[in-house]
Amino acid sequence: MMIDTKLYEEKMGKTVSVLEEELATVRVGKANASVLDKVRVDYYGSPTAIRDIAQIKATDPRTLTIQPWDKTTLKPIEKAILASDVGITPQNDGTVIRLSFPQLTEERRRELSKQVEKTGEKAKVAIRNIRHEALDKCKEMKKKSEMTEDEEKQSGTKVQELTDKFVKKVDTVVEKKKADIMSI
């Protein structure tokens, strides 16, 4: 009996999805609402995502405007952005909050590229850990005589091919983000 790789494929797929979400929040010098995804506002006692209490629009390539549906949330949104690691100072004009994204310096682009590479490396480590988990399962099944030695080798090859496929996906996502950072 061969190992069922569906579970491990799902786990590796989730790892790539998490990587893409993390990289979406990396500020690259152009207005992107996803930089606010991790920012939570205290809204009537519960932490709430900005997009749940306001409209977020990119008015031009370098500016985001946040227009809350409830004007009383302007100050809490401003405070939440200042307290976050977004790194942009919000400008509150009484009706909307504007976030102006500065042009990135060459040095900052290199730093961001290194940060993206580190994040990608963490994703690869997570994928390799999933591979170890699958290979351990194969060894366990062989030990319990649920799998022959040949099936164990075939399963190991299958798991390695799956790992290689997802490591390539991580590399593609990382390279795309680095190109995005360096092109602005």
Q: Tens of pLDDT along 56-108? A: 888 887 788 888 888 888 888 888 888 887 777 888 888 888 888 777 778 87
Q: What CATH fold (topology level) applies to the domain 6-24+105-183?
A: Topoisomerase I; Chain A, domain 4 (1.10.132)
- This prediction has a pTM of 0.69
Give the integer Cα–Cα distance in Å for 5 and 19: 21
Highest mean pLDDT among 10-14, 33-37, 66-70, 144-148: 10-14
**Once rounded to an integer, what is the mean pLDDT over residues 128-147?**
91
**163-184 tens-digit pLDDT:** 999 999 999 999 998 888 877 6
Residue 95 has a pLDDT of 87
The CATH number given to 33-100 is 3.30.1360.40
In sequence order, what DSSP letters do the residues of 130-170 get, joined into one string? HHHHHHHHHHHHHHTTSS-HHHHHHHHHHHHHHHHHHHHHH
Same fold, 6-24+105-183 and 33-100: no
Which pLDDT belongs to residue 53? 85
Mean pLDDT across the chain, nearest whole number?
86
Confidence (pLDDT) at 29: 62
Domains in the chain: boundaries: 6-24+105-183, 33-100
